[in-house]
């Protein structure tokens, strides 16, 4: 690969738009406003969950999802201000989106059942829908213990989920980790070249790889959701899924659109006296992302509400259900308090996610892996 002749490292040259402010300066001010609002809203909701941390197995995944807003908005804002470092900053939030996707899948699993025994009871009456065609290399593996085809009864679903769904969803996390490392390395030596889609640079190969990986993960996750949407109904999974799918999808779509239309020598949209190449390729996409994260921070208030996890609401449901919905039923309970630190630390401990990834990929070399729940 040849070294990239980067134009984004050059000082911004833009004519003033308003009272000595350039378009770049206005973007910084607006980006800061959107970022501040999104972080305040996200921190409020996260804090309420952390203080009412009554079901850690579910709420740790919710906190990880909520952290997406500040991670995306802060990195987007600093990408506007420090445009020459945007590749390093954007790599951080792009890797985190893989963790969010994994956390959402684990949240759905916890909504369905907290352990394998309950999984079997719930899936005993499930009639599996037609499955997405498997790649050839997966057809060589046994999908269930009884048959090579889709399971005939719900009791085979836990292993089926481990072997296909988990693998296809968690592969995105592994791929993004590898891609992120390669991105940082190639950018450091000058062969990444974010402003070019030439086959001579690493950017195009990395972009195609992560797009394919994301498509597989989102497709399988959507099929999993449609299979169990009735069981997941009380948890409003569609709104939760939408709040993740749109922000990740928009991020990739915007990046692709700006890569195709703006800033390159043969692009239809070219820099002007008031809008520089840095603004076209870095400033505008990240300013839009800052605004979108503010919108999604508002959406999260409805998609991931904290009130169902308050002790008062859980006790009320316990009385309605004849004492069957106690605090201890769904997961180990961390006592509620005014100290949110233990909950935040629990959410940042990703050992459960690493274990899930290990068990899924273990299936590729071991015939009988342990089931994940």
Instruction: Kindly report, residue by residue over 321-358, the tens digit of the pLDDT.
Output: 655 554 444 444 455 567 899 999 999 999 989 988 88
Q: Is 6 helix (H, G, I), strand (E, B) or coil?
A: coil
Interatomic CA distance for residues 369 and 359, integer angstroms? 6
Q: What is the pLDDT of residue 51?
A: 92
Q: What is the pLDDT of residue 326?
A: 47
Band the pLDDT of 270: cuts 50, 70, 90: confident
Q: What is the pLDDT of residue 117?
A: 60
* Average pLDDT of the segment spanning 358-365: 76
372 vs 128: which has the higher pLDDT: 128
Q: Which of 69, 50, 64, 47 is nearest to 297 (CA)?
A: 69
pLDDT at 169 over 50: yes
β partners of residue 18: 21
Q: What is the pLDDT of residue 373?
A: 44
* Average pLDDT of the segment spanning 308-317: 79
Instruction: Give all domains of the chain, ordered by start, each with its CATH number.
Output: 23-362 (1.20.1070)
Interatomic CA distance for residues 239 and 351, integer angstroms? 27
pLDDT at 296 over 90: yes
158 vs 102: which has the higher pLDDT: 102
Q: What is the pLDDT of residue 118?
A: 66
pLDDT at 301 over 90: yes
pLDDT at 172 over 70: yes
Q: Would you put residue 272 in left (φ > 0), alpha (ψ -120 to 50) or beta?
A: beta
- Containing 97, the helix (H) or strand (E) segment is helix 86-112
pLDDT at 175 over 70: yes
* Average pLDDT of the segment spanning 268-279: 82
User: Hey, which of 18-27, 79-88, 154-163, 268-277 has the most confident mean pLDDT?
Assistant: 79-88
pLDDT at 200 over 70: yes
315 vs 226: which has the higher pLDDT: 226
Q: Are 79 and 288 in contact (CB under 8 A)?
A: no
* Average pLDDT of the segment spanning 304-321: 79
Q: What is the pLDDT of residue 102?
A: 93
Q: Is 18 helix (H, G, I), strand (E, B) or coil?
A: strand
Percent with pLDDT over 90 in the chain: 36
Q: What is the pLDDT of residue 27?
A: 93
Query: What does the DSSP 8-state code read for residue 337?
Result: -
324 vs 187: which has the higher pLDDT: 187
pLDDT at 314 over 50: yes
List C-alpha distances in Å: 177 to 3, 87, 164, 364: 24, 15, 20, 19
Q: What is the pTM of this model?
A: 0.83
Instruction: Kindly report, residue by residue over 27-43, the tens digit of the pLDDT.
Output: 999 999 999 999 999 99
Q: What is the pLDDT of residue 61?
A: 95
CA 228 remoteness from chain centre: 20
Band the pLDDT of 133: cuts 50, 70, 90: low
Q: Are 91 and 345 in contact (CB under 8 A)?
A: no
Q: What is the pLDDT of residue 155?
A: 45
Q: Are 334 and 56 in contact (CB under 8 A)?
A: yes
15 vs 139: which has the higher pLDDT: 15
């Amino acid at each position: 690969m040849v070294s990239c002749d980067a134009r984004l490292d050059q000082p911004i040259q833009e004519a003033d738009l308003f009272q000595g402010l350039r378009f770049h300066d206005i973007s910084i001010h607006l980006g800061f406003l959107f970022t501040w609002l999104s972080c305040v809203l996200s921190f409020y909701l996260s804090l309420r969950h952390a203080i009412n941390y009554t079901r850690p197995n579910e709420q740790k995944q919710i906190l990880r999802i909520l952290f997406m807003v500040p991670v995306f908005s802060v990195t987007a804002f600093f990408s506007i201000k420090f445009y020459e470092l945007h590749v390093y900053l954007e790599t951080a939030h792009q890797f985190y989106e893989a963790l969010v996707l994994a956390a959402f899948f684990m949240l759905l699993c916890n909504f369905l059942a907290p352990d394998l025994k309950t999984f079997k009871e719930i899936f005993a009456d499930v009639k599996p829908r037609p499955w997405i065609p498997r790649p050839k290399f997966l057809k060589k593996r046994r999908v269930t213990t009884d048959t090579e085809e889709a399971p005939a009864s719900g009791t085979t679903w836990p292993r089926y989920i481990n072997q296909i769904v988990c693998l296809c969803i968690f592969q995105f996390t592994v791929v993004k980790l590898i891609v992120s490392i390669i991105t940082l390395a190639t950018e450091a030596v000058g062969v990444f070249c974010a402003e070019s889609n030439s086959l001579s640079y690493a950017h195009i190969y990395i972009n195609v790889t992560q797009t394919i990986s994301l498509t597989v993960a989102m497709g399988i996750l959507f099929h999993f959701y449609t299979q169990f949407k009735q069981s997941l109904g009380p948890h409003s999974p569609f709104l939760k899924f939408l709040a993740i799918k749109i922000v990740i999808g928009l991020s990739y779509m915007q990046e692709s659109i700006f890569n195709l239309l703006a800033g390159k020598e043969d692009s239809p949209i070219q820099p002007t006296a008031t809008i520089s190449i840095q603004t076209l390729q870095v400033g505008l996409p990240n300013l839009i992302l800052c605004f979108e994260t503010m919108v999604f921070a508002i959406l999260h208030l409805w998609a991931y509400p904290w009130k169902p996890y308050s002790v008062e609401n859980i006790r009320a449901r316990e009385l309605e259900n004849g004492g069957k919905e106690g605090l201890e039923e769904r997961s180990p309970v961390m006592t509620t308090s005014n100290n949110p630190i233990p909950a935040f630390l629990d959410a940042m401990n990703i050992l459960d996610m690493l274990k899930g990834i290990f068990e899924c990929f273990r299936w590729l070399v071991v015939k009988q892996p342990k089931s994940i729940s």
